[in-house]
Structure 1
Amino acid sequence: MSPTNEAADDSLGRFSRAADTASTDVIRTYSTSFGLATRLLGPRHRQHVRNIYAMVRIADEIVDGVAAQAGLDTSAQTEALASYVAETHRSMRTGYSTDLVLHAFARTARECGIGEDLTQPFFDSMSADIADPADFAVYDAAAHERYVYGSAEVVGLMCLRVFLRDAVRTEKETAVLTHGARQLGAAFQNVNFLRDLADDTDRLQRGYLGDSGRLTDADRDAWVRTVEAQLDDARRSIPLLPKDARAAVRSALALFAALTRRVARTPASELYRRRVRVPDPVKALLAARAVVVTAMERDR
């Protein structure tokens, strides 16, 4: 049976809507906090950011245990990630993929100017996570910097390209925003390293914070100071964002600032036993405050 012309003309649109739904479902499954933040974005940004998150989330899951639990050894995990990378870049060139999440991401990448200059460093960091689980991987300062740039800072830069795609900013403003996006991504990643010490150390055999032993309270304090400085840099760039992106970014920043304060109050030894989190009512309050602050600002 042949479709009507109208149905045929709308086939790509229907497929793309299904792709967006798939990306949104990934967020709902993996991150209530990020899902809350995206709901604060203006409609023109919201789905694009969800599409970015879904793409990077799936890649992260390939290297963080899902593939291994499915029975893939390190060689097969490397092959699975390489296949995902190739399909991501192919879909970015063509605007189409049979993989719903990558189809959604490709549409976002093409509309917002996200290229392989950002996706390849991300995939390089993901590839670094594939290692023999019997070997404890220690990241020195240089390796940590490279990993954080690829795994987190470029994701911030992808989101920035979404926010600025219809905006005009001076060269100086763009530099401030670029630095802020990178610093925010780095802060998010470093906080997660601190709160995921137990899982990273015991299950994944990774020492992202540069120590194959145990972090001391003094080590924790040094990392907290680093994160606080990164958050301060990111905070200064928020007023330069389009107004319909500010509440979401403020909310996410406030959440991670709250996480950082809780990490700072938690003995390092306890960080190896439990994951620090912010209660849902506090998250809601932080989001509400971000909305109120943004509503009082002028449009940009």
Structure 2
Amino acid sequence: MTGLSLYDATADGTASGVIRRYSTSFGLASRLLGPAVRQHVENVYALVRVADEVVDGPATEAGLTADESRRCLDELEAETERAMAQGFSANLVVHAFARTARATGFGPELTRPFFESMRADLSASEHDQESFDRYVHGSAEVVGLMCLRAFLTGHSYPESTRALLDEGATRLGAAFQKVNFLRDLAADFEHLGRSYFPGVDVTTFDEATKLRLVADIDDDLRVSGEVIPVLPASSRRAVALAHGLFAELNRRLEATPASSLIRARVRVPDPVKVRIALQATAGRVASVPDHRPPPPGASL
């Protein structure tokens, strides 16, 4: 292996190393993907992780000011767009991501909302409903769509089915992001000065507010879970595992008193992760509570 093929392989290997270092849950789920799909998802994750690190700590620890971090993020976005257009970058993570974008058919329509949300973390300390929805779309929903483009490469679906899959991908991405916001409520506020959920104050956070947020997440998980069986076999088990892990985490958040939630970080124990992985491998999609009220006249 020489020349561009060696460079491509090196870039892919660099991207794969990022997910192994940063996320045990996504690393576990990615192992259930078909090999070609797995590499694309790892390439997406690597760029997302690097951009997130620019705004979430390491850049500040290295001595960058907020303005310098913003310039760094702008440069990363510009390099990403050039690489998607040209097919090459001297940044190995960007090169791997661009290869995936070109192979699976997405471009700036998904990366620009993502970088917009990353920039918001450098200036916005709290959100109203409109800015929250925009932030979740850019930081999570478009990432779900990037992964879906990889899942569907080489597969043909009717437009109506693809629309359902798009909805499932965006709702699953939103659920992941909201679970992380809820789990990290106190840490985001105390260490980063951020409050993501509109109208939610950590100092007055109560059980009713927590249950409302849990129910909203469950709704996203329920909708996304319904379309998992429609996915290609090469990605179905991995998505079922990621869905199951976050459904379990949301159940644990629901069971944790609000007063405790703002003091301790809830996690899924490793033995439970293994159980969920075995269920996903067997083709089972986690059940999620339906918080919608019954229709008028329904029997109780």
Give the TM-score, by structure 2 length: 0.92
- C-alpha deviation, 1:198, in angstroms: 2.0
Preserved CA contact (<8 Å) 2:189 2:202: no
The counterpart of 1:147, out of the listed 135, 139, 149, is 135
- Moved segments of 4+, more than 3 Å: none
2:222 to 223, 232, 251: 232
- The question of 1:222 aligning with 2:212 is answered yes
Q: Please point out which of 120, 130, 146 is paired with 1:158.
A: 146
1:245 corresponds, among 235, 244, 247, to 235
Find the counterpart in structure 2 of residue 4 from structure 1.
none
Aligned match of 2:89:
97
Q: How many pairs align?
A: 283
The answer to whether the aligner puts 1:292 opposite 2:287 as a matched pair is no
Match of 2:184 among 191, 196, 212: 196
Separation in 1, partners of 2:197, 2:14: 34
Distance 2:243 2:48 in 1: 20
- Secondary structure, counterpart of 1:293 in structure 2: coil
Cα offsets for 1:25-53 (capped at 9, x unmatched): 11111101100000000112000000000
Cα distance in 2 for partners of 1:47, 1:82 equals: 26
Can you list the C-alpha shifts for 1:85-142, whole angstroms capped at 9, x where unaligned?
Answer: 11111111111111111111110000001210000000000000003xxxx8111111
Alpha-carbon offset, residue 213 of structure 1: 4.1
Residue in structure 2 matched with residue 266 of structure 1 by the alignment: 256
The 5 A counterparts of 1:56-205 are 56-131=48-123, 137-205=125-193
Q: Given that residues 24 and 50 in structure 1 are in contact (C-alpha distance below 8 angstroms), is that contact kept between their aligned partners in structure 2?
A: yes
Question: Is the 8 Å Cα contact of residues 138 and 212 (structure 1) preserved in structure 2?
Answer: no
Aligned partner of 1:22 in structure 2 is 14
Alignment CA distance shift 1:178-1:216 (3 Å)? same
SS at match of 1:137: coil
Distance in 1, Cα, partners of 2:264 & 2:98 = 37
Determine the C-alpha separation between the residues in 1 that align with 2:106 and 2:260.
Answer: 40
Q: Would the aligned equivalents of 2:202 and 2:262 in 1 still touch at CA under 8 Å?
A: no
1:185-231 CA-to-partner distances (Å, cap 9, x unmatched) read: 00000000010112101011111012344321111100000000100
CA distance in 2, matches of 1:87, 1:269: 44
Q: Distance in 1 between matches of 2:261 and 2:130?
A: 24
Q: CA deviation at 1:269?
A: 2.1
Secondary structure of 1:276's aligned partner:
coil
Query: Contact 2:117/2:139 (CA < 8 Å) preserved in 1?
Result: yes
Match of 2:244 in 1: 254
Confirm or deny that 1:275 pairs with 2:265.
yes
The answer to whether the 8 A contact 2:186-2:202 is kept is no
Q: Distance in 1 between matches of 2:246 and 2:130?
A: 24
1:31 aligns with 2:20: no
Is the Cα contact below 8 Å between 1:78 and 1:127 reproduced in 2? yes
Aligned mates of 2:24, 2:106 — CA distance in 1 = 25
5+ residue gaps, structure 2: 285-300
% identity of equivalent residues: 50
